[in-house]
Structures are given as structure tokens and as C-alpha cells.
Structure 1
Amino acid sequence: MEKKKKFSLMSAILSVICVVFVAEAAAPVAAIGNSQFFWWIFLLITFLLPYGLISSELGTTYNGEGGIYDWVTKAFGHKWGARVSWFYWINYPLWLASLAVMCPGLITTITGMEFNTVGNILIELIFIWIVVWISFFPVSDSVWILNGAAVIKMFLALLIGFLGLYVALTKGMANEFTLKSMLPTFDLHSLSFVSVILFNLLGFEVICTFADDMEDPNKQIPKSIVVAGLVIAAIYIFSAFGIGVAIPTSEISTSSGLIDSFKLLTGSTSGWFIGLMAFLFMLTLFGNMISWSLGVNNTACYAAENGDMPKVFGKRGGKNNMPVGTAIMNGVVASIVVLIAPLLPNQDLFWSFFSLNLVMFLLSYVPVFPAFYKLRKIDPERPRPFKVKGSDNFLKLLVAAPMIMIIISLIFTAIPLKFDSETLREQLPVTIGAIIFILIGEVFIVIKNIKLKGEKKDVKENNRKHA
């Protein structure tokens, strides 16, 4: 029998970087202005640190395919496990669609070829189904993709940081940097982008679903989270600084991406350099989606096998036991989204889909932090290879801080707090979409409970007859 390939520690670290580091979200964060640096540092302390510690403990204590679904189900039961698995899964095809709509523009930048609506949709569908096809295979078979994407992401982020510094030194600072300008204004514009920073810091638990592919998961999981977390934090801040010192904030918007930043920094919209950056960036999009699919698919499939997701998500491949049902559903939903996109009002499709994916994604994490605290109370005898040390009050603070950040982000991303036409046009579709997806999840839970009650009633009736 062929020996199964295993992750090394370096591969685990690079996989975490590939999962967590989101290159395409760096420029939208820069639209906050200089206060982005306050938010980066503040959220690294109040969110990334506790989240990394909690993920390390839960991931080594309850390692396996279930991930955050397993943690929440053990703490709060199947209803909350079902909600988490649904939110966690549905965000993925929405994100897949948001990146797919970027691909035609990237190919145009690389080749100079323009595409009509049909051509755009074909390119988007090809991107989606290549990702789906690759996710049919074990993560250890795709480790070279994850490692390569992680290296390219770091290269692009560092390059844009150094390029920004060079432009600032040779042409002058694009924005005034004072202590006052770096302090947050707490206005709706600034706070609405905090969720993007949180999104940039999420995903450490995905590495926990790779435990069976690791040489020593109890050591590799916490080490990879700590090392990758420090590297990611440093790269984010450096690349954000490069963009901030060289590009006027007024020229950056939510629709700006990494390639837009390269174009602004070089003053060129084409040429071999911009084409190469676009090509490398597109490779990172594949790496992002493949790394996330492996974690999301395992979680959704595991939940389906436990009756907390529709049965189709539990279908596995015959040869390698991979969750092909979930992978196909990813492709189906993402394809539907890109097919209806041309029918939507003329707006920034990337940001619309990305915002909706962001809301569903953040919702899935809300119960994770209290689950950590409850599992400490109800399962104290469980061996914990990595255990967060501290008093009970410290643990409560560790749980409360990231939860508060997520809830604040959800409010400012999903709920229109101003009622002017521009705000409603941008946020109302996100609000309506989030409500629809939440209701779909609740309907499934209700149907499942009715079915369970019917099965229990049948069992009681049979027992009574046999008695």
C-alpha cells in the first residue's frame, strides 16, 4: 500500500499563510486612510492574538475534519453546529464567485484582449470549475499549490511595500502622516472596513482540518499558527504602509485591488511588469480557493455525515474518500451567482459578493469563542496538548474581545446605518442576501427537527407494538 504523503512543519506554515493571507483585500483596507494602521495594530492584539491561541488549543484538542463545526457542536449541540456549518460553507461559493468576476479583467491586463459578457462568464466558469476539480484530490496532493501560492503572495505583498516606499522617497509622501491622521475617526466609512481587516486575519482553524495529513499535528498546528501569524501580521502592515505612503487615499476605493495599486504606483496600466503581476496575482486566487476548499469541504461533509447539512454534502469520492458532494455544490452555487451577475444593477460585483461572503463568514465564528470557554468547563479532563494558560477572568477576556470585534463588524457591514441612496444601493443587497441565507439555514434546521421527531415517534410506536 502506498504510504500517504504528510505535511512537514514548513508546509504547514506555508499552508496557513496561503489560507489566511488574502492579497486581494489589502487595497480595500487602504481606503480607510492612515487610520488603517491603528486598526491593524488594535485588531492584531484584540483579535488575532486571542483567536490564534483559541484555535491552537481547540485544534490540537479536537483535531479532525469537523473543524469549527465540531467545536461548536460539542459545546452547544447540533442546532448551533448546523448553523455554523451552513454559514461557514455558504460563504465559500460566494467568495469563489467574487474572485471569479476578477479573472476576465486580469486576463485582459495580461493579454490585452477584451471580452464581451459571454466571454467574461465563460472565463469565470472555467476558474470556478478548475478550483472544484482540484478540490477532488487530497490536500497532501495539492501542497505544492498551497506552498507556491503562499510564496507568491508574500512576494507580491513585499514588492508592493518596497515599491510604495521607493515612490514615496523619490516623489514625496502621498498622504500626510501625523499622529492625528493615524487615530481612528470612528465614522461609518472607517468602521465599515474593519470587517475586511478581520477577514484578512481569519482562517487559522482550516489548518486543523489537515491534521490527518500532518506528521505531528499536536506540535505542528500551534507552531504553524504562531509563526504564520507573526509573518502575516508583519507583511500586512508593511504592504499597507507601502500603499499608504505612495497612493493618495482618494484614489483607492473598495473596488481597488492589488493590481490597481501596482498600476497607480508605476503610473502604467499595461506592459510586461503589470502583466506579470496580474498573472502572479491570478495564481494566488487559485491558491486561496483551493486551500479554503479543502477545509470548508471537509467541515461541510463532516456536518452532513452527522445530519447537520443536506445529504448531498456528505457524498465522498470512491478512490480517495474526498468530499466531492460539497465540492460540486460549491461549483453549482458559484456558477449560479456569476450567471445572474449581469442581471444585477450596475455596481461593483466583486465588492457586493465579497461583502455578502464576509457577513456569512463572520457569522460562523460568533459561537466559536464561547465554545472554547464552555468546553473548558464541560470537558476539563480532555488532554490538551496546547493549553492557553491564565485565570478564569483572563479566559473570559480572551473570548469576549474577538466576539465584540466580530459583532461590531457585522453591524457596520450588514446593516445600513445611513439611508441615503448610495448607502442603500451598496448595503441593502448585502442585508437582504444575508437575511435570505440565514432563513435558508433555519428552514433546514426546522425540517431536520421535524424529521427527527417523526423518527423518534416511529421508534416509540414500534417498541410499543413489540411490547
Structure 2
Amino acid sequence: MSVPPTRSAPAPPPPPPETVPHLHRSLRRFDIMAMGVAAVISFDVLGQIASGGGEAVTWIAVIAAGFLLPYALVFAETGAAFPQEGGPYVWVKLAFGRTTAALTTLFYWVTNPVWLGGSLVFIAAESWDGFVSPLGSGTVADYTFKLLFIWAAILTAIVSLRRGKWITTAGAAAKVLALAVFSGTAVAYGVEHGFHGLDHASFAPTAVGFLGLVPVLLFAYVGFEAPNAAGDEMHDPQRDVPVSIGISGLIATCCYLLPVLAILSAAPAGQVTGIGGFMDAARLVFAVYGGWSGPLLTTAAVLFVFALLTQGSAWMIVSDRMQAMTAADGGFFSRGLGAFHARLGTPVRMNLLSGITATLFMVAAMHLASGDAAAVFGVVLTVAITTLLLSYLAIVPALIRLRLRRAEVPRPYEVPFGTRGFVVCASLVYAWIVLGSWVALFPGTLEHLVGLRYDFADTWGVSRATFETFTLGTVILLLAIGAAGLWGRRARD
């Protein structure tokens, strides 16, 4: 008589790659949500999105439903099931091994010093120069402001998370307050002067508009999993992560949709630019305040710059932890880069490396396009978009593999319809990421494929050769650095 096989007990959740000393549980649900809002709501892309015209509003809504919703579902489940310090690095390592995880994390991490030293610092300097105090272009004052901006963001990442979280929380509050005040002021302006921008805006979707907006909109919506990089510093990640992702995702959608509508209602057609969109529109609508418009506009500009600064800080806090975990696990040059400070509980060495990287990229970007700030902003933002989206080409398949191969891991939250629902949602997210990555790396190619006219120099303000030097050149350089980091670590092991 055969004996039925005994069913093995469910395996416990996998441990982190390595126990990280000096960590303190500092993040509660509100803190996780605020960090997600501070990181994901990107002030610097509002003008870039609004420059797409009326159809930008349509595509914000479409991509929110078709991409953000399934994205939030799969990352909420995975973040609650695998809440270890390092977040996406741990997920990719468990699915595909250390080499793939190390390269993926490198792209995820480097996005942020590139973004801080390029997109964020340039739009902050442009706003300060135009609304607070003149800086000029390429002057000592310009360089000084940009260096102070970069290293202030790094400093807020270095301080202990118990204190640093309040800086990012203040930044999240500043963003929501500034966007709410701006949107309300735009309505008051429209009531008084008419909503002329909307009168001429076409909300009908087009293929040209879609291809132009899809990378920047995906970039605007990704990142809600970022707080998971500090998973071991959360009090109750299994319960708090899904709720935080859901709430911050809803807030982000509103904070893109309403201000873009407000910008389009106020700014004359064709005059919305990527680098000046938000503050230029604010200059127009604040006229309703009469003699108070000048001081209020200056205050708004300072608030705007502070929000940009804390946006960079939030990403430095989480991405530096991911890269530090990679280094500590032997995937990036020296394990010493993964050390967490005994008193602060932060990866100070990796924070400093991010600051140096951001500074070098800022100096390189200053020489791009002969100082044309708008062209610099657009190209550098695209570099950041490219590196971040490319990292998800490994992260999303890792989520699917973990769902299929590690189904025994307890999942406090599950995507509707179980494994099938998870795979469908993740596959949809992956299709969007592939499309966005291609368009970001090779703009204009899909337009030519379907017979649409595309003037590269007119669109970007630089030649294709200059553009690809920054985008493809950055990708190739990162692959070389990643390979060197892995080889150098193994050579010493």
C-alpha cells in the first residue's frame, strides 16, 4: 500500500542578502506615503508634460489607468511580501542572481545623481534666476547655486532617517500645497480673464503626441516601490506598503492632472516649455493678486525650489540604500561602499559618491548645447528617463518570477485574481516599459516607421549625434562600470 507523500511546510520569507547593522525602524505608514509623494510627484516634468498640449491631459488619464493601476497592484504585493532592505535589488537577486541584480540596481541608482545634477538643478537655477535673484548662465553665482543645491540634497540623505524623513515629508507637503494654490489661482484667473488656453487646446489623442509623451509620463508615474529600499527601517511594511502605494498613487495622479490643466488654461498656446512651464504659468495667473503678485511669486519660486530639492533628497535616500546593499553584497567594487554609519544609520560613503556623480554630470551638462538651458534640461531629463526605465526591464520580470517560483512566501496583499491577475498586470506594465525605453533611447524612429514627420533638431534643440552621445553613451558607460565593479569585486574575493 502506497503512502501518500507528505506536504512540506511553507518556506519562511527569504532573508536579506546580508544583515545590515545600525538600522533603526523609523518609517510608519504616513512616512512611507509622504516619501512616495516626495519622490514620485516630479515638479520638473510638469512643464514637459504640459508642452504636449491638450492631449497631454488625455494621455495622463489613459496611462494612469493602463499603466499606473497595474503597476501599483504588482509592486504593492511584492513590496509587502519581500520587505527586506534593498527593495528591488533583493527582488532581482532572488529571481535572477547577483550579476543581473547589480547591473539593474546600477541603472536605478545612477538615474538619481544624473537627474539631480541635470534636470532638477537646472530647473531650480532657472526658477531662482527668474523669480528670486539673478544668477546668469555659467557665472560664479550659477555654479555656486547648483553646487549648493546638489550638496544640500546629499546632506539630507546623510542625516539619520529619523530626521531626514521630516525633510522629505515637508517637501511632499510643499508640493501638494504649491500645486493646490496654483490650481486654485488658475481657476480664479480663468474666471476673471477667460480660459483662453483651453479654448484652443485639443484633447484628441494623436500618435505623435503619444510617442512624445509616453516616456516622460512613465517616468512621472514610476517609483512608488522606492521606499522599499528602506524595508528594514519600516515598522510594519507588510501592512503599510500596499496602503501607502495606493494613496500616494492617487495623490500623484491628481497632482499631475489638475496642474497640467491649470497650466494649459493659463499659458498661451505654444508658449509652454519644459523648463519654464510651471513658473511661467504661475507668473501669469498670480496677476490676480494685484500688488501682492510679486512677493507671492517670489515665495512660490522659493517653495518650488525647496520642493525640487526634497524631491532629489527622497530619491537619494532610497536609491543610495539600494546601491549600498549591492556593494555590501559584493556586487559593486568595494564592500566598504555598502557600509552604514554606526550612529546615523545611513550609507554615507554611497551618499558622497552620489554627490560626486551629480556634480560631474552637472559640469558636463553645462557644456551641452552651448549653454541653452532648455535644450540641456530636455536632453538630461531624457537620460534620467532612459536609465530608470531600463532598470525596470529586469525588475518587472523578477516580480513575475517571484510570484511563480516563490508562491509559498506569505503575501499580506494579493493582486485580484491571484497569479493570473498578477501576471497579466505585470505583463501590461512590461509592455509599457519596453515602449517607453525604446522611445526614450531612439526618439523619432517609431514616428518614421509609421510615416509621421519628425524634425529631431527642432524637437530637441540639439543634433541627434549630441543627443545619442548623452543617452546611448551614458548607457554604455554604465554597463562598463557595472562590469568593472563586478569583476573588481570578484578579483579581490
Structure 1 segment 18-417 matched on structure 2, within 5 A:
18-98=38-118, 99-115=120-136, 117-176=139-198, 181-187=202-208, 189-266=209-286, 271-311=294-334, 313-346=337-370, 347=372, 348=374, 349-390=376-417, 392-417=419-444
Supply the distance in 1 between the matched residues of 2:155 and 2:456 (Cα, whole angstroms).
43
Q: Equivalent residue for 1:431?
A: 468
Give the structure 1 partner of residue 479 of structure 2.
442
Residue identity matched to 2:434: I
Moved more, 386-395 or 26-35: 386-395
Deviations 1:191-249 (A, max 9, x none): 22222221221111112123333332211111111112112212321212212222233
Distance 2:489 2:255 in 1: 49
Map Cα deviations across residues 275-332 of structure 1 (whole Å, 9 max, x no partner): 0000111111121111111100100000111222222632432433421121111111
The question of whether the paired residues in 1 share the 8 Å contact of 2:282 and 2:297 is answered with yes
- Structure-1 separation of matches of 2:23 and 2:393: 39
Tell me how far apart the structure 1 counterparts of residues 122 and 57 of structure 2 sit (CA, whole Å). Answer: 29
Task: Tell me which amino acid in the other structure corresponds to 2:383.
Answer: L
Q: Secondary structure at the match of 1:203?
A: coil
1-structure distance, mates of 2:487, 2:98? 14
Runs of 5+ unmatched residues, structure 2: 1-21, 445-453
> Matched residues in 1 for 2:357 and 2:122: separation?
14
What is the aligned partner in structure 2 of residue 465 from structure 1? none
AA at the equivalent of 1:399 = A
Retained in 2: the 8 A contact 1:64–1:212? Answer: yes
Match of 1:460 in 2: none
- TM-aligned CA distance change 1:297 to 1:342, over 3 Å: closer
What is the RMSD computed on CA atoms of the aligned residues? 2.7
Deviations 1:93-134 (A, max 9, x none): 111112222333333345444446122011111111121122
Cα distance in 2 for residues equivalent to 1:129 and 1:58: 33
Cα distance change on mapping 1:31 and 1:426 into 2, 3 Å: farther
Alpha carbons 1:25, 1:257 under 8 Å: kept: no
State the match for 1:422 in structure 2: 458
TM-score, L = length of structure 2: 0.85
Q: Using the alignment, how far apart are the partners of 2:463 and 2:311 within structure 1? A: 26
Q: Distance in 1 between matches of 2:104 and 2:309?
A: 25
Structure 1: 5+ residue runs without aligned partners?
457-467
Cα gap change, 1:285 to 1:448, in 2 (>3 Å): closer
1:281 and 1:227 map into 2 onto residues whose CA distance is 23
Which whole-Å CA distance do the structure 1 matches of 2:279 and 2:478 have between them? 36
Over 3 Å counting, the alpha-carbon distance change for 1:48 and 1:107 in structure 2 is same
Counterpart amino acid of 1:433? F
- Judging changes above 3 Å, is the alpha-carbon distance between structure 1 residues 352 and 294 closer, same or farther for their aligned structure 2 residues? same
Same amino acid, percent of matched pairs: 22
Distance 2:203 2:429 in 1: 22
TM-score normalised by structure 1 residue count:
0.89
Distance 1:74 1:320, change over 3 A: same
Following TM superposition, by how much is the alpha carbon of 1:259 offset from its aligned partner in structure 2, in angstroms?
A: 1.4
| Matched residue SS, 2:243 | helix
Q: 1:272 to 1:318 in 2, by over 3 A?
A: same
Q: 1:190 offset after TM fit, Å?
A: 4.4
- Letter matched to residue 441 of structure 2: A
Query: Is the alpha carbon distance of 1:182 and 1:328 closer, same or farther for their aligned partners in structure 2, counting shifts above 3 Å?
Result: same
Structure 1 contact 145–287 (Cα < 8 Å) conserved: yes
Distance in 1 of aligned mates of 2:350 and 2:490 = 27
> How far apart are residue 350 of structure 1 and its match?
2.1
Q: What secondary structure, in the 3-state scheme, does the structure 2 residue paired with 1:400 have? A: helix
Shift of 1:135: 1.3
Counterpart code for 2:332: M
User: Which amino acid is 2:321 matched to?
Assistant: N
CA 1:369–1:420 in structure 2 vs 1: closer, same or farther (change >3 Å)? closer
Structure 1 residues 431, 421: closer, same or farther in 2, change over 3 A? same
CA distance in 1, matches of 2:44, 2:258: 15
Q: How many residues align?
A: 453
Structure 1 CA distance, aligned partners of 2:294 and 2:398?
51
Q: 1:252–1:423: structure 2 CA closer, same or farther, 3 Å change rule?
A: closer
- Once residues 373 and 135 of structure 1 are traced to their aligned partners in structure 2, the CA distance between those partners, rounded to angstroms, is 31
- The answer to which of 66-75 and 341-350 deviates more is 341-350
Seen in structure 2, the aligned counterparts of structure 1 residues 428 and 411 have a Cα distance that, compared at 3 Å, is farther
Alpha-carbon distance in 2 for matches of 1:385, 1:239: 35
Alpha-carbon contact 1:305-1:314 (below 8 Å) kept: yes
Quote the Cα distance in structure 1 between the aligned partners of 2:263 and 2:216: 16
In 1, Cα distance between equivalents of 2:46 and 2:122: 18
Q: How far, CA to CA, are the matches of 1:432 and 1:157 in structure 2?
A: 35
